[in-house]
Chains A and B, each alone.
Chain A
Amino acid sequence: MFLGSRVTRRLSWLIPLLALVVIAACAKDFPQTTLAPKGDLARIEDDLFYTTVKWATLVFILVEGALVYAIFRFRGKPGDPEPHQIHGNTIVEIIWTVIPALILVMIAVPTVKAIFKENETPKGDPLTVEVIGHQWWWEFRYPEFKLTTANELHVPVGRIISLKMGAFDVVHSFWLPEFAGKRDVFPNRETRLWFNAEEPGEYSGQCAEFCGIQHARMAFRVVAMPPADFQGWLDHMKSITTQSAAPSADSVHTSSAGGGVQQESTQARQAPGGAASDSAKPAPPQAQGSDVAQGQKLFLMKGCVGCHSLVAYNAPKGMLGPNLANVGARSYIGAGTLPNTDENLAHWIRFPQEVKHGVLMPNLGVTEDEAKALVAFLRTHR
């Protein structure tokens, strides 16, 4: 669009220039970028993206070039004679029908190949993880190890992770840009996605299908670990379950009476198999402060336990709130809403409706001191 005066000509240079500046910015400035794939599936998607970008750029330059050239070249002046009246040209029209068709073939062939690759989980020894989308957090279950966690998915580097996904309430979409792209999750069907992590690290993803008021605050982290570390993490998660000061079955039942659906209170009741006996065991060494004991009491009395399980091993299904077995060690709370500092956690416990308006966790009238105690208690769950 290089029309008119010198000013406008200068202006129109600005746009591509700005674009270049933005593209040139490094991928590290964009920790959730799709343009720096770190796994096989994301790389398949990225390769295809560049195939289309390549052709699109070529077409863009030629066609916009022709348009801009024509605007300059054929600009008329008042009093010019009537231009030659052309109604069409069959040969030219056939050519510019066939050429785009050929370009599309160049895009379609790798596309179809990639479609089949993308849809089939690679052979080998995949680690199966169940993903369940909730309003507005993510539940991850490892059927192989009977482990459950929330909002942080730990995976071993180098192994194919096979995701079997569903939703608890409404449609969500699991999006992990650096590894996998996205796949929607539904309350009544299983969808699948796979990925592999090539390097250890923390990666971010988030829900990509509008799912209600807090759709924006439904992020998750993927923690990719070297296989040995992953094994260590698994062992740790299994062990904290037997140590954890899980509430007794009775108190679960009574304290959850305030809120929920029939479903989760019954499930919570039958939930932690050995929990009742566990609670009789002595608390772990770091859980001995008076704050911690007070926090544990509050966790039961305030009704937290109605929606949140503290057991990772064989955790009950259908809980309304995220599993908190290792909440003390997570990097974010509220599904990516706040960094997991003591202050943030206390604030979150006291005023969830202010931090993440509409979240299913109500303001429970927790005082500042009570929040401190609860934080101390939750910090013991790492």
Chain B
Amino acid sequence: MATTVLGHEAHGVAPAHEKTGLWSWVTTVDHKRVAILYGIGALFFFLLGGIEALLIRIQLARPDNNFVSPEFYNQLFTMHGTTMIFLAVMPMSQIFFNYIIPLMIGARDVAFPRLNAFGVWVFLLGGLFVNAGFLFNAAPDAGWFGYANLTSTQFSPGLNVDFWMFGLQILGVSSLAAAVNFFVTIINLRAPGMRLMRMPMFVWMSFITMVLLLLAFPVITVALILLMFDRFFGTHFFVPMGGGDPILWQHLFWIFGHPEVYILILPAFGIISEVLPVFSRKPLFGYAAMVFSGVFIAFLGFGVWSHHMFSTGMGPIADTFFSLATMLIAIPTGVKIFNWIGTVWGGSLQLKTPMLFALGFVAMFIMGGLSGVMHASPPADLQQTDTYFVVAHFHYVLFGGSIFGLVAGAYYWWPKMFGKLLDEGLGKAHFWLQLVGFNLTFFPMHLLGLHGMPRRVYTYPKGLGFERMNEMETVGAFVLALGFAVFLYNVWKTWRTAPPAPADPWNGATLEWSIPSPPQEWNFPEIPAVTGRDPLWEAKRQRGGPLPEPQRVSGQGIHMPAPSYWPLVTAFSLPLLFTGLMLSSKIGPWGIIVAVALLFFGIFNWLFEPSYTSIPGVRGKTGHSH
């Protein structure tokens, strides 16, 4: 590695960000490129999860259908959930954490650039690992929640659960790496003057997300390790015949799983808290309340896990506690919704595509929130849980919420990331298709659930009255798919034909709009000083008009971290390790030994790789730091 870097420097090659070619991507530690790698992975897996959803909808369009076999259906719904949560929505948030947070806080990179690269490689490899089961007709099939004791070797003897359990374990490493990184980045790398209570709301919500990741993921890690011991080493943590307890899994899973819900939604809260003010031309209403309601939601999020378990019969005291704690969350969530409406209220609304999606988010999220309060009530939940009512509820939160928010972010920051504006007309078509398709798909699910259709069924009999609504939902799913096809066409078309976008196309309020699009590797030639909450609006107001278009600069004297392939090498050891474990009955411990050796080899080289070069005179060119 060192020779590569030195070689470049010795020959005076241009700074890394202007380099092209596969190698520059493989070795990148630039947070913006890492973001794009997250984006490519997330988009791929999102399309995969979407195709799984369409297959599910085709199967359910008719009663007693046999478009797919029961075992494939179970793989489909398991992988749809796993994919959308861990491989689509979480990494889509990572796109914006990576790309936008350093820009918003006026930093040149993240605190640990190589750890960042490690995170994205682990995510990509982990995503492929989970999906590898499809190649062996052994994709995970026990649900994204993997309830014990169905996951025990007695009832799931195949590799299906192994792919799921180890895949999640790998992905957890990626999430934890990112969480540590952005936690430190946000605490330590803010521009001078950007006090905590001046941070953009997206940074705040991301910060809270990092805390949730740091506290929630260790729990699922432990649960998955216990499951691994049950499946590989003959323990009985969750096996009742050996004295274990399946309900322990449910507690562990939901202590992780409920905060996970906020990990999925808080970044979207942050995104629309940026979009709504900009397109209302008015600051965010009740900034402090927005911060503290976010903190409060996250805090309460750790005390409500058992509301996923009302039907287990925990008794009246536990039911009451978890019910009331869950209802409490509605208060800070309500505060957020009111503050968003307060932001729009009295503004001068420009209904551009990002704004449409942000408004769509608020409208749909209200529905998801209200149905959430309905099953916070345990007796009512005894009817609703494990039915399509719940499927409707969490799609209103995760699709109507998270996805609408993330799409808003995509349209909003696209010009910053790629230097091109997406087409407005196509964007609006996308919005309306998505809004109509979404409601057509998911609204009837409320009624289906209330009328008695359970979740996770590969088919349903004739005569229960489920036919018509299921048909409607399938149509809706294809309308939704069409919406995303329009988005992809928009990307393709503008990529080829759109003129370069200005640095600040939306009259933005935050620092990322003060630099060229796309930004240069070092983001800010000079670290800006911040004196208020909407620094760019402040600057424009002082100047009495728009700022001059920022110029690209040479970057002389700016220290940036050196590229490295050791994060990728180290990342490879994780899927290898678990593959070795899965094959250990056939090949003995050799796979594991090789993987561990690779892990140490990777870490060792990573640690001792020179991050500063000592060759005089070239330090300022590409430079090294951190």
A contacts, CB < 8 Å to B: 1, 3-4, 8, 11-12, 14-15, 18-19, 22-23, 25, 29-35, 42, 44-46, 48-49, 52-53, 55-56, 59-60, 63-64, 66-68, 70-71, 74-77, 80-89, 92-93, 96-97, 100-101, 104, 107-108, 111-112, 114-120, 135, 169-171, 173, 175, 177, 180-184, 186-189, 191-193, 204, 206-216, 219, 336, 357-358
Task: Give the chain B neighbours of A30 by CB distance below 8 A.
Answer: 451-452, 464-465
Shortest A122–chain B CB gap in Å is 15
Instruction: Verify if B184 is at the interface (C-beta below 8 Å from A).
Output: no
Q: A82–B459 contact, CB under 8 A?
A: no
Shortest A232–chain B CB gap in Å is 29
Shortest B71–chain A CB gap in Å is 5
Bound state CA distance, A114 and B450, in angstroms? 19
Bound state CA distance, A120 and B155, in angstroms? 34
In the complex, which residue of chain A has the Cβ closest to the Cβ of B467? A29
For the complex with contacts A93-B339, A210-B455, 6 further pairs of A-B residues with Cβ separation under 8 Å are: A33-B450, A45-B379, A53-B374, A118-B382, A208-B386, A213-B71
Bound state CA distance, A64 and B335, in angstroms? 14
Instruction: Verify if B186 is at the interface (C-beta below 8 Å from A).
Output: no
Bound state CA distance, A182 and B440, in angstroms? 28
Identify the stretch in B36-44, B405-413, B431-439 within 8 Å (CB) of chain A at 4 or more residues: B431-439
The contact sample of 10 A-B pairs, CB cut-off 8 A, is A4-B428, A34-B383, A34-B450, A104-B328, A104-B373, A171-B246, A182-B382, A188-B246, A210-B456, A213-B70
Given A25-B465, A31-B465, A96-B338, A115:B344 Cβ within 8 A: no
Instruction: Verify if B458 is at the interface (C-beta below 8 Å from A).
Output: yes
Q: B382–A45 contact, CB under 8 A?
A: yes
Task: Give the chain B neighbours of A34 by CB distance below 8 A.
Answer: 383-384, 450-452
In the complex, which residue of chain A has the Cβ closest to the Cβ of B71? A213
Shortest B400–chain A CB gap in Å is 11
B 451-490 binary contact with A (CB < 8 Å = 1; else 0): 1111111111101110011001000000000000000000
Task: Give the chain B neighbours of A213 by CB distance below 8 A.
Answer: 70-71, 74, 141
Q: A111–B379 contact, CB under 8 A?
A: yes
Task: Give the chain A neighbours of B451 by CB distance below 8 A.
Answer: 30, 32-35
Instruction: Verify if B281 is at the interface (C-beta below 8 Å from A).
Output: yes
A-B interface pairs (CB < 8 A), number: 311
Bound state CA distance, A209 and B344, in angstroms? 43
Bound state CA distance, A204 and B311, in angstroms? 19
Instruction: Verify if B150 is at the interface (C-beta below 8 Å from A).
Output: yes
Instruction: Verify if B10 is at the interface (C-beta below 8 Å from A).
Output: no
Shortest B328–chain A CB gap in Å is 8
B 315-338 binary contact with A (CB < 8 Å = 1; else 0): 110011001100110110011011
Instruction: Verify if B611 is at the interface (C-beta below 8 Å from A).
Output: no
Interface-centre pick from B69, B359, B374, B461 (highest chain A CB count, 10 A): B461
Shortest B448–chain A CB gap in Å is 9
Given A33-B452, A115-B320, A358-B70, A74:B379 Cβ within 8 A: no
Bound state CA distance, A111 and B315, in angstroms? 14
* Interchain CB contact (< 8 A) of A183 among B71, B323, B376, B382: B382
Shortest B178–chain A CB gap in Å is 30
Interface secondary structure of A, over-half rule: mixed
Q: B379–A48 contact, CB under 8 A?
A: yes
Bound state CA distance, A375 and B440, in angstroms? 46
Given A18-B472, A64-B363, A3:B351 Cβ within 8 A: yes
Identify the stretch in B205-213, B286-294, B595-603 within 8 Å (CB) of chain A at 4 or more residues: B286-294
Q: A170–B359 contact, CB under 8 A?
A: no
Interface secondary structure of B, over-half rule: helix
Shortest A151–chain B CB gap in Å is 14
Task: Give the chain A neighbours of B605 by CB distance below 8 A.
Answer: none
Task: Give the chain B neighbours of A68 by CB distance below 8 A.
Answer: 363
* Interchain CB contact (< 8 A) of B313 among A15, A117, A191: A191
Q: B147–A171 contact, CB under 8 A?
A: yes
Q: A187–B240 contact, CB under 8 A?
A: yes
Task: Give the chain A neighbours of B356 by CB distance below 8 A.
Answer: 3
B 424-448 binary contact with A (CB < 8 Å = 1; else 0): 0000100010011001100110010
Task: Give the chain A neighbours of B143 by CB distance below 8 A.
Answer: 210
Which 6 residue pairs spanning A and B have beta carbons closest together?
A32-B452, A76-B348, A181-B382, A188-B240, A216-B457, A30-B465
Q: B344–A71 contact, CB under 8 A?
A: yes
* Interchain CB contact (< 8 A) of B346 among A48, A67, A83: A83
Task: Give the chain B neighbours of A77 by CB distance below 8 A.
Answer: 348
Q: How many residues of B contact A (CB 8 A)?
A: 104
Identify the stretch in B27-35, B364-372, B557-565 within 8 Å (CB) of chain A at 4 or more residues: B364-372
Task: Give the chain A neighbours of B24 by CB distance below 8 A.
Answer: none
Q: B349–A74 contact, CB under 8 A?
A: yes
Bound state CA distance, A189 and B309, in angstroms? 15
B contacts, CB < 8 Å to A: 69-71, 74, 141-143, 147-150, 155, 240-241, 245-247, 280-289, 311-313, 315-316, 319-320, 323-324, 327-328, 330-331, 334-335, 337-339, 341-342, 344-351, 356, 359-360, 362-363, 366-367, 370-371, 373-374, 376-380, 382-387, 428, 432, 435-436, 439-440, 443-444, 447, 450-461, 463-465, 468-469, 472
Q: B247–A186 contact, CB under 8 A?
A: yes
Task: Give the chain A neighbours of B74 by CB distance below 8 A.
Answer: 210, 213, 215
Task: Give the chain B neighbours of A135 by CB distance below 8 A.
Answer: 155
Task: Give the chain B neighbours of A76 by CB distance below 8 A.
Answer: 281, 347-350
* Interchain CB contact (< 8 A) of A171 among B150, B327, B351, B366: B150
Shortest B486–chain A CB gap in Å is 15
* Interchain CB contact (< 8 A) of B331 among A100, A206, A209: A100
Task: Give the chain A neighbours of B70 by CB distance below 8 A.
Answer: 213-214, 216, 357-358
Q: B316–A115 contact, CB under 8 A?
A: yes
Q: B436–A11 contact, CB under 8 A?
A: yes
Q: B287–A15 contact, CB under 8 A?
A: no
Task: Give the chain B neighbours of A15 by CB distance below 8 A.
Answer: 436, 439-440, 443
Q: B447–A23 contact, CB under 8 A?
A: yes
Shortest B519–chain A CB gap in Å is 27
Q: A170–B150 contact, CB under 8 A?
A: yes
Bound state CA distance, A163 and B386, in angstroms? 20
Given A60-B370, A184-B311, A188-B240, A115:B323 Cβ within 8 A: yes
Shortest B281–chain A CB gap in Å is 6
Q: B464–A189 contact, CB under 8 A?
A: no
Q: B281–A82 contact, CB under 8 A?
A: yes
Task: Give the chain A neighbours of B150 by CB distance below 8 A.
Answer: 170-171, 210-212
Bound state CA distance, A169 and B156, in angstroms? 12
Q: A114–B379 contact, CB under 8 A?
A: yes
Shortest A183–chain B CB gap in Å is 5
Shortest B461–chain A CB gap in Å is 7
Task: Give the chain A neighbours of B428 by CB distance below 8 A.
Answer: 4
In the complex, which residue of chain A has the Cβ closest to the Cβ of B534? A85
Task: Give the chain B neighbours of A117 by CB distance below 8 A.
Answer: 379
Q: A184–B436 contact, CB under 8 A?
A: no
Q: B287–A88 contact, CB under 8 A?
A: yes
Bound state CA distance, A74 and B280, in angstroms? 9
Shortest A157–chain B CB gap in Å is 21
Given A83-B280, A87-B283, A1:B359 Cβ within 8 A: yes
Bound state CA distance, A100 and B380, in angstroms? 20
Q: B458–A216 contact, CB under 8 A?
A: yes
Shortest A196–chain B CB gap in Å is 16
Bound state CA distance, A314 and B281, in angstroms? 77
Shortest B613–chain A CB gap in Å is 48
Task: Give the chain A neighbours of B453 by CB distance below 8 A.
Answer: 32
Bound state CA distance, A177 and B389, in angstroms? 13
Shortest A195–chain B CB gap in Å is 11
Q: B346–A64 contact, CB under 8 A?
A: no
Q: B334–A181 contact, CB under 8 A?
A: no
Shortest B388–chain A CB gap in Å is 11
Task: Give the chain A neighbours of B315 by CB distance below 8 A.
Answer: 119
* Interchain CB contact (< 8 A) of B348 among A4, A74, A206, A215: A74
Q: B286–A88 contact, CB under 8 A?
A: yes
Task: Give the chain A neighbours of B472 by CB distance below 8 A.
Answer: 18
In the complex, which residue of chain A has the Cβ closest to the Cβ of B316? A119
Bound state CA distance, A211 and B457, in angstroms? 10
